[in-house]
Amino acid sequence: MRVTWITDDKSSPSYVEYGTSPGRYDTVAEGEYTSYSYMLYSSGKIHHTVIGPLEHNTTYFYRCGGYGPEFQLKTPPAQFPVTFAVAGDLGQTGWTKSTLDHIDQCNYDVYLLPGDLSYADRMQHLWDTFGNKHMRVTWITDDKSSPSYVEYGTSPGRYDTVAEGEYTSYSYMLYSSGKIHHTVIGPLEHNTTYFYRCGGYGPEFQLKTPPAQFPVTFAVAGDLGQTGWTKSTLDHIDQCNYDVYLLPGDLSYADRMQHLWDTFGELVEPLASTRPWMVTQGNHEKENILLLEDRFVSYNSRWKMPFEESGSTSNLYYSFEVAGVHIIMLGSYADYDEYSEQYRWLKADLSKVDRERTPWLLVLFHAPWYNSNRAHQGEGDDMMAAMEPLLYAAGVDIVLAGHVHAYERSKRVYNGRLDPCGAVHITIGDGGNREGLAHRYINPQPKWSEFREDSFGHGELKIVNSTHAFWSWHRNDDDEAVKVDDIWITSLVSSRCVDKKRLKLMNILTNPKSLHLSTGGIASV
Ligand SMILES: [Fe+2]
Ligand SMILES: [Fe+2]
């Protein structure tokens, strides 16, 4: 028999010790090894070692490379009867897992696999976006003939509605994505659990729609990545009773290795298939290769947000409303100066905000404007110079950013100074990425900075009513989330700041400087 295993350690030897009693290896076989590279990926050391001659129908105990756990194997019989287990197209989904469980329980001698071992993807990655009683369900199939419809209903297994969707795909160097399906379902009832299935087969998922009015709870964590810390952040978010997840950029850390977008989808699917996940881009979503026009091709293809629904022309910035909250997702990596399309769109969006219907106004983007960590110092300055006056005039309550791998919360601040009508700025780039934490701070702590800590964690924002919200930050401490920072925040509507600034906002919104762009960019004529 050939025993194959893989080690990260390139100096690890290729021998197998084995015998017929546990822990007693009376024979050693030397093997060979290989490895390969695929674009930016380098495999571990792949060891292949042939052991034998072995007795038939006998259990052997063995260990690989002189350390690690003991395994056991049973050799096939010399004659009939002999049992084969057979299953092809394995993949690595929940279905795979249960197939393997069942095979494990049957008393087979040899497993025959007719092709397609690891299948880049037969599985479905799902995440939802939310916009006006609708949700977008996204999933990916390897099968290019798989249809893009979603069946759904409010009882398990009974789908009384079917929504047809669309699909896309992309290529990136040698990588070709699966078929990426985007299907909008709705109108949906608020605060209701729906059961749904994608493409007419596969497992049933369920999602809960957000409430129509307060209270509403947001979970927040940026810079997720796909590490052990990510996993524990996601576990903690899963345990908190949230309605919508807000992610201020840096999702998969694929950094051009496209299969990492697929594994990220698999990692977040258990959460992202059950609640709306609303994201904006970080610098790690920007994947340039020469001659490629769309620098966000993977992100835009996979994480399609309701930008068209909010009058934006780019997936990099959009807005949506949930309960009594208007949320604006800005793009730190799209043009933002006052002649830019993003700035024009932001003004148009702010002019539509109705503070009676949505008394709370939140903004998210990636690179923070208020940051007393030494990491990424000053990276948000240009965007802040361009856009902070506009957000201030509009009476934005809370700004959430990521990028800095730590947590920091400001007092209400504007233009670098404490201001009771400014926004609370929260940096929460602490989801669990592979680059680690940002430990160095500027001292003394600036006056505007109220709390800062270099730990992984997540935030919860519970908007209780039109005047009060409760913000808390939970550190990933061992296996448990420990609440370390919390504060009641009162809305700027209730402190009359919004009323006071109404005239100023009207002046900015009707400022002709950025109206030129909307008529075709002939500003200098
Ligand atoms: Fe990051
Ligand atoms: Fe970042």
Q: Does the pLDDT of residue 330 top 70, yes or no?
A: yes
Question: In the CATH scheme, what is the code of domain 121-209?
Answer: 2.60.40.380
Mean pLDDT of the chain: 88
Indicate the range of 17-21, 39-43, 232-236, 520-524 predicted with least confidence: 520-524
Task: Please give the average per-residue pLDDT across 289-309, as a whole number.
Answer: 85
pLDDT at 23 (0 to 100): 87
pLDDT at 119 (0 to 100): 29
Tell me how far the alpha carbon of residue 285 lies from the centroid of ligand 1, in angstroms: 10
Q: Does the pLDDT of residue 456 top 70, yes or no?
A: yes
| CB 209, CB 192: distance < 8 Å | yes
pLDDT at 96 (0 to 100): 63
Q: Name the band, by pLDDT with cuts 50, 70 and 90, for residue 201.
A: confident
Nearest of 189, 208, 193, 202 to residue 150 by alpha carbon: 202
- Token representation of residue 519: 């008529």
Q: Is 263 exposed, middle or buried (0-12, 13-18, 19+ CB in 10 A)?
A: middle
- Token representation of residue 244: 């919508």
Q: Does the pLDDT of residue 20 top 90, yes or no?
A: yes
Q: For the chain, where do the domains classified as CATH 3.60.21.10 start and end?
A: 212-509
3-state secondary structure of 46: strand
Q: What angle do CA 503, 345, 169 make, to 5 degrees?
A: 160
**Residue pointed to by tokens 């052997």:** 60
- Token representation of residue 397: 């309550």
Q: Does the pLDDT of residue 384 top 70, yes or no?
A: yes
CA atoms within 13 A on the CB side of 128: 29
Indicate the range of 42-56, 194-208, 355-369 predicted with least confidence: 42-56
pLDDT at 48 (0 to 100): 87
What ligand is nearest to the CA atom of residue 429?
1
Q: Name the band, by pLDDT with cuts 50, 70 and 90, for residue 178.
A: very high
Q: State the fold for domain 2-82.
A: Immunoglobulin-like (2.60.40)
Q: Does the pLDDT of residue 516 top 50, yes or no?
A: no
3-state secondary structure of 243: coil
Nearest of 492, 502, 498, 497 to residue 467 by alpha carbon: 492
Q: State the fold for domain 212-509.
A: Purple Acid Phosphatase; chain A, domain 2 (3.60.21)
Total residues belonging to the chain? 525
Tell me how far the alpha carbon of residue 435 lies from the centroid of ligand 1, in angstroms: 7
What ligand is nearest to the CA atom of residue 368?
2
3-state secondary structure of 404: coil
pTM of the predicted model, to two decimals?
Answer: 0.76
Q: Name the band, by pLDDT with cuts 50, 70 and 90, for residue 121.
A: very low
CA atoms within 13 A on the CB side of 184: 12
Among the listed residues 47, 366, 376, 458, the single catalytic one is: 376
Task: Please give the average per-residue pLDDT across 505-511, as a whole number.
Answer: 87
pLDDT at 82 (0 to 100): 83
Task: Please give the average per-residue pLDDT across 444-452, as a whole number.
Answer: 98
Tell me how far the alpha carbon of residue 315 lies from the centroid of ligand 1, in angstroms: 20
Q: For the chain, where do the domains classified as CATH 2.60.40.380 start and end?
A: 2-82, 121-209
% pLDDT > 70, the chain: 88
Tell me how far the alpha carbon of residue 224 lies from the centroid of ligand 1, in angstroms: 8
What ligand is nearest to the CA atom of residue 434?
1
Q: Does the pLDDT of residue 338 top 70, yes or no?
A: yes
pLDDT at 91 (0 to 100): 58
3-state secondary structure of 392: helix
Tell me how far the alpha carbon of residue 287 lies from the centroid of ligand 1, in angstroms: 14
pLDDT at 355 (0 to 100): 96
Q: Does the pLDDT of residue 512 top 70, yes or no?
A: no
Indicate the range of 60-69, 128-137, 235-244, 331-340 predicted with least confidence: 128-137
What ligand is nearest to the CA atom of residue 367?
2
Tell me how far the alpha carbon of residue 422 lies from the centroid of ligand 2, in angstroms: 25
Assess whether 376 carries a catalytic annotation.
Answer: yes
Interval 57-111: pLDDT, tens: 999 999 898 877 788 888 888 888 888 777 765 655 556 666 776 777 778 777 6
Q: Name the band, by pLDDT with cuts 50, 70 and 90, for residue 521.
A: very low
